[in-house]
Amino acid sequence: MIFKQIKSGGDRNFAYLAGCQKTRDGALVDPAPDPEAVMKAVNGHGVNIRFIINTHSHHDHSSGNEYFKKLPYPPRFIHCSEDTRVKDGEVLKMGELIIKFIYTPGHTKDSICIKIEDKLLTGDTLFVGKVGGTWSSKDAKTQFCSLKKIFTLPAHTEIWPGHDVGVKPSSTIGFEAEKNPFIKRLSDFDDFLWLKKNWSTYKNEHGIK
Ligand SMILES: [Fe+2]
């Protein structure tokens, strides 16, 4: 499998290139907000970009889509608009790779995680040591349920987040289960919500940047 994490501008955004080693078919995940930087990073890998996939509709993840519509061979857009939305558990074949979509609402209504082999691209659902923002207790509960769902995956599953805001650029389910203070609270929603509400104080007290 061809796989590359790409610094794509914005608020330490990460885009991703994933491709089939054999057929050279590839996908870009969240190639925004600087699509040209993403293309620069992709060039030289000999991958034909067949798919553009967004983890959710926030501008800093989706604003690059327009750029790819103008390419001579435009890719297929997946989860990039209402009419291209995927469903929970839906799969997509890309060369010899199987891409699986896991619906993980909470940060936004349309948030998904993308599983390719043992890698999970989590967008703004899960970061290294943190989770994505929510703006009501109801959304926090929705996110809590989504996180519970992805934390049934095997411990060795790799986590590749949408922003570089943690102590390292990627992680694993096992590491996050042990170290991420939000994930440690997945047994009790009130405790999880308390941490969301008191995050800035908690961060300062625990020296988290
Ligand atoms: Fe977001």
pTM above 0.75, yes or no: yes
Which residues pair with residue 114 across a beta bridge?
101, 121
Task: Render 55-114 in DSSP notation, one character per residue.
Answer: SS--HHHHTTHHHHHTSSSPPEEESSSGGG---TT-EEEETTEEEEEEE--SSSTT-EEE
Distance 117 CA to ligand 1 centre (A): 24
Q: Does domain 2-205 fall into CATH 3.60.15.10?
A: yes
- Domain residue spans of the chain: 2-205
Distance 12 CA to ligand 1 centre (A): 12
Distance 149 CA to ligand 1 centre (A): 19
Distance 107 CA to ligand 1 centre (A): 7
Distance 97 CA to ligand 1 centre (A): 26
Q: Measuring CA to CA, which residue among 77, 81, 119 is closest to residue 98?
A: 119
Distance 112 CA to ligand 1 centre (A): 11
Distance 56 CA to ligand 1 centre (A): 7
Distance CA 28, CA 49 (A): 7
Distance CA 32, CA 124 (A): 14
- The H or E element containing residue 177 is helix 173-179
pLDDT tens-digit profile, the chain (209 residues): 999 999 999 999 999 999 999 999 999 999 999 999 999 999 999 999 999 999 999 999 999 999 999 988 889 999 999 999 999 999 999 999 999 999 999 999 999 999 999 999 999 999 999 999 999 999 999 999 999 999 999 999 999 999 999 999 999 999 999 999 999 999 999 999 999 999 999 999 999 98
